[in-house]
Structure 1
Amino acid sequence: MFDQNFMSLPGITPQEYSYLQTATNGLNEQQLRTFLMIYASKRKNPSDLLMFSVIGFFVPGLSRFIVGQIGMGILFFLTYGLCMIGTIVDIVNHKSIAFEYNQRMVFESLQMVRMGSFQQPQQ
């Protein structure tokens, strides 16, 4: 139904696309619009995460801070990206890091949509 809206997300991978289709199965049109609005504002583009990982050579742990992994970000910062090895691993695995983060954002967005659909409008 909203396949075109999923495809309009920048940097969407086939894996993320199929995950979104499965996760949003059963939502009505209004819920799906609300979900897309919330999710699009929260998701991270894998290309952007690659850029932040490369910048991690100069600001260690930046990509981990961006995806909400504060503990790993501090560890990378204090150990200079685990002696640069962790930064290189992040560059190689930027797509999987982005996908894991986006999965959490799908779950949070669905929870917000479902909570909002059960609230009665106040008069």
Structure 2
Amino acid sequence: MDMQPNAYMMLPGITPEEMALLQQATAGLTEDQKRNFFNIYAGKRKSPQDILLFTLLGFIVVAGVQRFVMGQIGMGILYLLTGGFCLIGTIVDLVNHKDLAFDYNKKMAYESFQIIKGGGAFY
């Protein structure tokens, strides 16, 4: 599998900003490292549509599901106990679901890079 710049287009819901981040993150990697990075990152990544669906669950089932999914346990508990800040926080998350997904994916790209390089940073 050659890692061309368009290989990341296979990821669901990828944005131009995320594509640029991934290209920057993998710029100095060998083809084998890029392939490993892609496999690790694809397993950790959350698409904006997933975050949107989990946020919508906050209206129907349990507030804060999206925060638990993104690893923000403290915020998830806070949303759970306050009904998503009386639904205001859930509405804000609904509007900002793409930004939430990008921030989460940025952290996952950094973690994936750390696993591949064993400690070096890319930004």
What is the TM-score with the length of structure 1 in the denominator? 0.91
In structure 2, list runs of 5 or more residues that go unmatched. Answer: none
Q: 1:5 Cα shift?
A: 1.2
Q: In the alignment, which of 49, 52, 57 is matched to residue 50 of structure 1? A: 52
| AA aligned opposite 1:30 | D
Q: 1:60 Cα shift?
A: 0.5
- Name 1:62's counterpart in structure 2: 65
Q: In the alignment, which of 83, 90, 99 is matched to residue 96 of structure 1? A: 99
**Other structure's SS at 1:25 match:** coil
- Name 1:31's counterpart in structure 2: 33
Structure 1 segments, 4+ long, off by >2 Å, are none
Q: 1:62 Cα shift?
A: 0.2
Q: Distance in 2 between matches of 1:53 and 1:18?
A: 26
Q: Distance in 2 between matches of 1:115 and 1:75?
A: 34
* TM-align CA RMSD: 1.2
Q: Distance in 2 between matches of 1:59 and 1:5?
A: 36
How many residues of Structure 1 are paired with residues of Structure 2 in the alignment?
A: 116
Higher gyration radius (CA): 1
**Other structure's SS at 2:28 match:** coil
Q: In the alignment, which of 61, 81, 93 is matched to residue 78 of structure 1? A: 81
